[in-house]
Chain A
Amino acid sequence: MRWVWIDKFVAFESGSHGSAVKNVSLAEEQLENHFPGYPVMPPSLMIEGMAQTAGILVGEARGFGENVILAKIRSARIDRYAVPGDQIRYDAKIESIDKAAAATSGTISINGEPAGTVDLMFSHVNKSMQAAGLPDHNFVFTEQFMQLFHSIKDPATAG
């Protein structure tokens, strides 16, 4: 399974806000056991979907020069379940950003209906401040994630 919890960006304003969508499919593995006979998208993975949306927004704001690591869930509230066939939309906004970190706010909707809020904090980790044991290349913005980013910038070349 690829650790990608958004399908594509549908809006992107550099340094400000971005929106991504995910279509929930019954073919996805996580629904097999969550829950047996009652497949719903795990809210924890919706938080991850927001983190990927907001993380790419934050990374792009600083030229993808650093690894952007999810450091803190400032608050999270998921009010509704998403089920197979639903479309989840993540709207993320940068609240604060500096050399060390960024804070984002976000709303989640399911098929256009409000479904929750997720506010996050990210740390910027570059080579000079790399913690022991972390790889020295950019391990966050891999080709998979860059494809997602390019899907909004240049839809024709998106993978």
Chain B
Amino acid sequence: MTTLTRSEVLGRVQEVLVDALGVDDDEVSENATLTDDLGAESIDFLDIVFRLEKSFEIKISKGELFPDDILSNPDFVVDGNLTEQGVNELKRSMPHADFGDFESNPDVSKVPGLFTVKTIVNYVETKLSAA
């Protein structure tokens, strides 16, 4: 496959999100969060994975882009907050995400905010460079 520039990857990711979520092009900025800003629901995450696989001709394993078993693990979540172990596990499984100041207040309800358009672009770039 021809190497894609970051802006080409971003363009295709935006196209995927416009199709999957029924949003307008200009809503899909790099910092937009999938849930709060773009209105994604749980089934949409699977839709996005399927569309990314087609668009970039890649294979995305379960939980690779959107980890789904960390928040249900009692070792990782106590009283609505991620434990240190949980934060480390989340960071390990999401090297493509920008955690910002998440660690200072690792509230579980803030986890969806880690899934931004930029997170997906970073993930796809890493995936393509490893291919």
B43 touches A96 (CB 8 A): no
A103 touches B43 (CB 8 A): no
Interface residues on B, range: 10 to 19
Segment at the interface with A among B45-53, B101-109, B114-122? B45-53
Residue A99 interfacial (CB < 8 Å): yes
Report the minimum CB–CB distance from A58 to chain B (whole Å). 13
Interface residues on A, range: 10 to 19
Q: Is the interface of B mostly helix, strand, loop or mixed?
A: helix
B50 touches A72 (CB 8 A): no
Report the minimum CB–CB distance from B24 to chain A (whole Å). 16
Question: Which residues in B have their C-beta under 8 angstroms from that of A101?
Answer: 43, 46, 50
B53 touches A123 (CB 8 A): no
Roughly how many angstroms separate A98 CA and B11 CA in the complex, as a whole number?
A: 26
If the complex has contacts A98-B62, A99-B62, A100-B62, are A123 and B43 also in contact, measured as CB distance less than 8 A? yes
A103 touches B62 (CB 8 A): no
B50 touches A95 (CB 8 A): yes
Question: Which residues in B have their C-beta under 8 angstroms from that of A123?
Answer: 43, 46
Roughly how many angstroms separate A121 CA and B19 CA in the complex, as a whole number?
A: 13
Report the minimum CB–CB distance from B60 to chain A (whole Å). 9
A74 touches B54 (CB 8 A): no
Residue B44 interfacial (CB < 8 Å): yes
Roughly how many angstroms separate A98 CA and B20 CA in the complex, as a whole number?
A: 18
B62 touches A74 (CB 8 A): no
Roughly how many angstroms separate A74 CA and B19 CA in the complex, as a whole number?
A: 8
B47 touches A121 (CB 8 A): yes
In this complex, the member of B44, B46, B53 whose beta carbon has the largest number of chain A beta carbons within 10 angstroms is B46
Roughly how many angstroms separate A98 CA and B53 CA in the complex, as a whole number?
A: 12
B44 touches A72 (CB 8 A): yes
Roughly how many angstroms separate A75 CA and B43 CA in the complex, as a whole number?
A: 14
Interface residues of B in 35-80 (CB under 8 A from A): 43-44, 46-47, 50, 53-54, 62
